[in-house]
Amino acid sequence: MGEFLDFKDRVINMSIGWTNLVVTTANQCYVYDFSNWNTPHIFDLKDAVTFIAQCSKLFCLVECTQGLMIYNYDGKLVSNPKIAGAKCSFFIKFS
């Protein structure tokens, strides 16, 4: 029998890889570790996420208002690099 994940809001984006599931709604990001589906790391977002990229230790979210945001899988913001002249539509083209 399967498990179900419940969210307060509609799921906007998701990515699975590196033994983690990253799910974004309009207001929050949920980070699940495959070894523990019961207690995800949850943090608030300012805007909807348009793109998610994952690697072994970090993942990247792209928001239209904040731009690139790099997090670890514990949900801690590691970096928020500012790219001069980059717009949200630039990142959407390459996703």
DSSP string, 21-34: EEEEESSEEEEEET
The yes-or-no verdict on residue 22 having pLDDT over 80 is yes
pTM: 0.88
Going by pLDDT thresholds of 50, 70 and 90, the confidence category of residue 89 is low
The pLDDT score that the predictor gives to residue 88 is: 62
Across 63-70, average pLDDT: 89
User: What DSSP character marks residue 1?
Assistant: -
List of domains in the chain: 11-93 (2.40.10)
Number of neighbouring beta carbons within 10 Å of residue 75: 15
Q: Which amino acid, one-letter code, is at 31?
A: V
Going by pLDDT thresholds of 50, 70 and 90, the confidence category of residue 56 is very high
Whole-angstrom distance, CA of residue 34 vs CA of residue 37: 6
The pLDDT score that the predictor gives to residue 3 is: 74
The pLDDT score that the predictor gives to residue 82 is: 85
Across 38-60, average pLDDT: 95
